[in-house]
Structure 1
Amino acid sequence: MKPLADKLDGVNEAPFPLKPAEFFYEGGPNAVLLTHGLTGTPNEMRLVARGLNRRGFTVYGVQLAGHCGDMDDLLATRWQDWAASVQTGAERLRQHCDRLFVGGLSMGALLALNLAADRPDLVDGVGVYGATFRYDGWSVPRIARLSGLLPLLKRFNIGRDRVFMEQPPYGIRDERLRAQISTAMQSGDSSIAGLPGNPWHSLAELYLLAKRVRGQLAQVSAPCLVAHASDDDIASVDNAEVVLRSVSGPTELLLLDNSYHMITIDREHRLLIDRSATFFDRIADTPRA
């Protein structure tokens, strides 16, 4: 597997300005906007992007506001800023495609659902990859599972400098890839593999976003491919169930049995690519209502 830092392989010039960590793969008339997770980078979506591009899609990997810098950069942003990054990316890409699909990993999946609820005119289908409404996986320390209290702490400016550090296995079942990611996170260059921990106040914003998205899932009428690791170490399958039982549009479930949370780069990323491409192609071949 090529290093995740191999950023320029096959990247095309985009028809709009790109942030330093973003990528654009030119393909056919149907496009996919891919969104990374909290403290992550567009690189965690790059393998899926390449695979979808080989299947004929134009793909844009967006960089969320405040990400790919330091902790202060992230803490200066709120969930509304992250959602604005996704909406701006979708509006830009929509001008250059016939059908637009949005896919996201972890928090990125919530942002994709948020866009589908707020702007159904933009979104033809959603790839919900490892949706994370709660950190309730088996590797999450018990104290971190109480992070639903963090919005209250943030309101009183308590714990701004506190961080939940990432713990092995870092959402990755493949041991060789896990070692590579761990080294990258400790390198000090957050544009490669993201920050090594989650600031309390940023997690508070994630929980505010999760609360909002839960409340508007019934407004998601676009078809959703809900993909989740059956043994997810970060976010249990209960998170996927929230989506399956709440959205109003048609759903399809893909359970991955040989991956952990980071399903876009773990052992079954090729299966995820294949099912996503097939799902999006099927929608694209169906006339709009």
Structure 2
Amino acid sequence: MEPQRRLVEPFNFPGNRVGCLLIHGFSGSPSEMRLLGERLSKFGWTVLGIRLSGHGTTPEQMAKSRWEDWAKDAEAGVKELRKSCHTVVGIGLSMGGLLALHLASLGLIDGIITMNAPMVLADRRTRYVQLIRPFATFVNKPDLSSSANKSEGTTAKVERFGYERIPVDGLISLNRAIRKVRRKLYEIKCPVLLMQSTKDLTVNPVSVQIIMKKIQQVKPVVLHWEKSGHILTLGPEREEVALKVDEFLRELNHNRM
């Protein structure tokens, strides 16, 4: 069944001269970021929510894309925002957070907010997925139906589109990208806000500590969320998350004026 168009389409909300680049996660879609984008737009910020290559269509389409494609998508989003904004902030969920870290390590953005960005994936099997490459093209997502994941509530189910099957090659590419970005974190110089859900069953929460320690040129702000699962932007604390993002943007804008 074709996903609802609103869930998978990118979105662009004009606002002031501070641009927010919203980047969804691996195998997800812009639907993960739309609610946050709508909130930020009401606060007056310019918002661009991109759709990464191969996402929001079919797992077969995603199987044709790699980290290099997703990085190009993110860099193109920055260029688009630069047309009207003097400040651009990368705001990413999961792999979207990894992409935001990548952009920051290249000096392409002026601030960064990550939400459950991966340095260590919770499911150990994902680290050895290359071993099954000769035998499988796709793997099923692990069952995350525990009480911790249910904390994301019905909102996540209603408003989000993502794949239940994951391309093995895409997962291999993600694992390589995690290692690549990790080695470059020391190059980040812009203000950083790191968010991590303590009940995350997809990304090991130790990831935020690794990122914090590797970023040495600035002192990141770290926020832990106690009630949310992996999809922090649609979880029970989503409104508080939006307020903290707005607070970060206001302080960043004030300091740059």
Q: Which residue of 1 aligns with 2:144?
A: 168
Verify: 1:103 aligned to 2:91, yes or no: yes
Tell me the CA shift for residue 74 of structure 1.
Answer: 0.7
Verify: 1:55 aligned to 2:51, yes or no: no
Verify: 1:7 aligned to 2:37, yes or no: no
Tell me the CA shift for residue 24 of structure 1.
Answer: 0.5
In structure 2, how many angstroms separate the alpha carbons of the residues matched to 1:283 and 1:178?
29
Query: Within 5 A, what are the aligned runs for 1:232-247?
Result: 232-247=200-215
Verify: 1:274 aligned to 2:250, yes or no: no
Q: Which residue of 1 aligns with 2:104?
A: 116
Relative to structure 1, the CA distance from residue 152 to residue 79 in structure 2 (aligned partners, 3 Å threshold; closer, same or farther) is farther
Relative to structure 1, the CA distance from residue 172 to residue 245 in structure 2 (aligned partners, 3 Å threshold; closer, same or farther) is farther
In structure 2, how many angstroms separate the alpha carbons of the residues matched to 1:175 and 1:278?
25
Tell me the CA shift for residue 81 of structure 1.
Answer: 0.5
In structure 2, how many angstroms separate the alpha carbons of the residues matched to 1:230 and 1:267?
13
In structure 1, how many angstroms separate the alpha carbons of the residues matched to 2:5 and 2:232?
19
Verify: 1:177 aligned to 2:155, yes or no: yes
In structure 2, how many angstroms separate the alpha carbons of the residues matched to 1:35 and 1:179?
19
In structure 2, how many angstroms separate the alpha carbons of the residues matched to 1:198 and 1:23?
24
Relative to structure 1, the CA distance from residue 29 to residue 72 in structure 2 (aligned partners, 3 Å threshold; closer, same or farther) is same
Tell me the CA shift for residue 28 of structure 1.
Answer: 1.0
What is the one-letter code of the residue matched to 2:139?
Answer: V
| CA offsets 1:95-126 (integer angstroms, 9 cap, x no match) | 210111001000110011001112x1x31110
Q: Which residue of 1 aligns with 2:190?
A: 222
Count of residue pairs brought into register by the alignment = 252
Q: Which residue of 2 aligns with 1:231?
A: 199
Query: Within 5 A, what are the aligned runs for 1:144-159?
Result: 145-151=124-130, 154=133, 158-159=134-135
In structure 1, how many angstroms separate the alpha carbons of the residues matched to 2:151 and 2:165?
19
Tell me the CA shift for residue 6 of structure 1.
Answer: 8.2
| CA offsets 1:12-35 (integer angstroms, 9 cap, x no match) | xxxxxxxx7100111111110000
Tell me the CA shift for residue 86 of structure 1.
Answer: 0.2
Q: Structure 1 length normalisation: TM-score?
A: 0.81
In structure 1, how many angstroms separate the alpha carbons of the residues matched to 2:93 and 2:238?
12
What is the one-letter code of the residue matched to 2:210?
Answer: V
Q: Which runs of 4+ in 1 moved over 6 A?
A: none
In structure 1, how many angstroms separate the alpha carbons of the residues matched to 2:92 and 2:4?
20
Q: Is the Cα contact below 8 Å between 1:134 and 1:235 reproduced in 2?
A: yes
Tell me the CA shift for residue 177 of structure 1.
Answer: 2.9
Q: Is the Cα contact below 8 Å between 2:111 and 2:191 reproduced in 1?
A: yes
Tell me the CA shift for residue 70 of structure 1.
Answer: 1.4
What is the one-letter code of the residue matched to 1:130?
Answer: N
> Where is the helix percentage greater, Structure 1 or Structure 2?
2
Unaligned runs of 5+ in 1: 9-19, 182-191
Q: Is the Cα contact below 8 Å between 1:172 and 1:262 reproduced in 2?
A: no
What is the one-letter code of the residue matched to 1:98?
Answer: H
Verify: 1:197 aligned to 2:185, yes or no: no
Q: Which residue of 2 aligns with 1:249?
A: 218
| CA offsets 1:136-169 (integer angstroms, 9 cap, x no match) | 1xxx4xxxx1322234655xxx244231324233
What is the one-letter code of the residue matched to 2:111?
Answer: G
SS in 1 for 2:256: coil
Unaligned runs of 5+ in 2: none
Relative to structure 1, the CA distance from residue 58 to residue 130 in structure 2 (aligned partners, 3 Å threshold; closer, same or farther) is same
SS in 2 for 1:163: strand
What is the one-letter code of the residue matched to 2:70?
Answer: W
Q: Is the Cα contact below 8 Å between 1:169 and 1:178 reproduced in 2?
A: no
